[in-house]
Structure 1
Amino acid sequence: MLVLDWVAPIFYCVIVVLQLHGGDAKDLKAMCSTCRQITDNFNKGFERTAKKNFGGGNTAWEERKLSKYETSEIRLVEILEGLCDSSSFECNHMVEEHEEQFETWWFKRKTKNPDLFKWFCIETIKVCCPKGTFGLDCNACVGGSDRPCHGNGKCDGDGTRAGDGKCSCDRGYEGEFCLDCAAGYFNEERNDTFSLCKECHESCTTCSGPTNHDCDKCKSGWEKDEEGTCVDTDECSKDSSPCKDDQYCLNTNGSYSCLACDSRCSGCMGPGPDKCRTCAKGYKDEEGTCQDINECELPDPVCTEENRECENTKGSFNCRCASGFQEQDGVCVPSPEPEVSQEVPSSEGAYTQTAKLSEQHEDL
């Protein structure tokens, strides 16, 4: 039994260490996140209960007999009950597992260790690390804990017991220490511990300064002029347009766009009916602008079928049945006369009989 008394604790410690070292990085980060949430909610609960008391009628008696609510176990319980949502298993499990530590801090450590997150999450249950450190031993991130990744990136596992401390550089920076400038950026300032990268001019692939005069190489869509400056290539000025027949070319910095011609155009050089190469069918050129042709006003009628009349539309026309006629089997036939009802008195004096006006005319 004596052997078991000291073997069991050692075995338990070994298991815990193995779990920590072999634990999934996401799980370790999640534990720190849960702990931070708990301590944040604890601080909110502490503020929420700041002006409460025991709720009795004689506060002076309560404080004298029951001690002050401010430091009471009742207040602690109220705060603990509001730390987690009922659906959050991880949060409730952590609070339940470490309830004794909360009591210790509340009654014995709070005065000397007012930062609950630091005391509980970092120093006591050890699921988090101080800012700028990472991993099981809370090692300093690359660049130091004060400026992880030299201020130009994020340290993997920063503030948790997870991660490998490698830097994930911000946009514009690269390299193990995030001190080098990525392609399209140049160093405005640089020393062994500090680097400030600025973006090159939009025309540069690489550069030594901020303007299009400082390009080492031009991007596609740009070309160097006689002075070595990267200038825009006007793709739209070429003899053969890069766009389709029903589109016009619009030059942009470093590129171009193909936009649809106006519907009145058959090919165009720009937007609107005044930029047409030729007018589309149903339109004609009037003083340089393509306008609709009113086919209904042409000398020769366009609607030749019997009882049809012309209706002009944009770029075309319709032949519809004239007034008083309707479409039937592809021809226009007279519309039927509307039925008119008339009430006549019955032998009993009530209006019960309806006769068609057309039938009355026939009887006459």
Structure 2
Amino acid sequence: MSEEPLMIFKKPSYPINEALLDYLERFDRISKFPISYDDLLRFSGSINVYDKEDQDTLWIRVYYNEFEREEIDLTLKKIYSLLHSDGNLEIIKFLNVDSIDYCTFGNSKPFRIKIRNILNDNYTHFYIKKADASRVYGLELEHILSPDKINFLVHQDTLIEEHIMGIAGDVFINNHLKNCSETEKSQIAKEFVKFNERSMIRLLGDMRAYNYVVIPIHDFDQVVYRIRAIDFDQQCYEGNFKVYRPQFFKENYPMVKLVKDKLQESSINQYKNEERSVLAKRIHSAENRIKRLLKIMGEDTLSTPSHLEQLKLELYRYTNDLNFKKAKSMGNIMSASFQYITRNFKNVNPFKA
């Protein structure tokens, strides 16, 4: 595993073009209620947010003047209704906006909205960010190809994402992994292999431990674990192929060690092949939607020419598939990856180990 940083420069934001907006409209991803990321930036003050151990979370809780807060709260409740109840406004009278937090680090600098049901005190979160084409493509591919569906909406240059529940990967590694049984550790190792393969095939980069969550699920007399991405900024941007393989980030070394300790090479190859097969079936089942998305993606600009050249040549060397070498955009590379999987998923080892 390389100790050198895999990512050096901050990724720029890419605008959402008209073709992608039409696609989002077709699949009900456009918000009916206007909200602007820039509107939320006009807060009049803030306080730091601390966790249970009294550590600074690097989030700040923001507040607004009375007139603006009333209008913002109503719009946020409407957006919640659109995300979770297909826009049913009857539920608004039972909702309260408990807090609006602003993240002071990271690429997207999101706002985190906490919505509470006043009848039973149940609450959930969603996020408001600057819209970025890379992130939108990443979210849509996650929705189509991952084991989990995800809700998100776009309004002009603003992106609204539902909260993905789970234990942050770095928190799980530091605080929970050591308490898992040996059987649970073997299951986590298996899940990491599959997550690594899924991220690589769909070119979702930067899956460092704090960019995914671990989800414990109680099943009869055992607990099984799932790993799920929560950050989609680095969809098809970097040129270094290792960026799309979570195993190469030093933050994930405890997971990689777990795989080495718990799984034999034959098992690793089996789990890789299982994940490729599942992905191929999902690609087949959503063929028209994926073709539509990849056509738009193929004509869009999502990276630099140097990153494009580097990635397509690295993938060509990795697979010996000329479709990668011929790619003229990141979207073309994505199409070549999906074609490669659907063509070869019945093989024992379509990608080299």
Short-chain TM bin: under 0.3
Structure with more relative contact order (C-alpha pairs < 8 Å, separation 6 or more): 2
More helix by share: 2
More strand by share: 1
Bigger Rg over Cα: 1
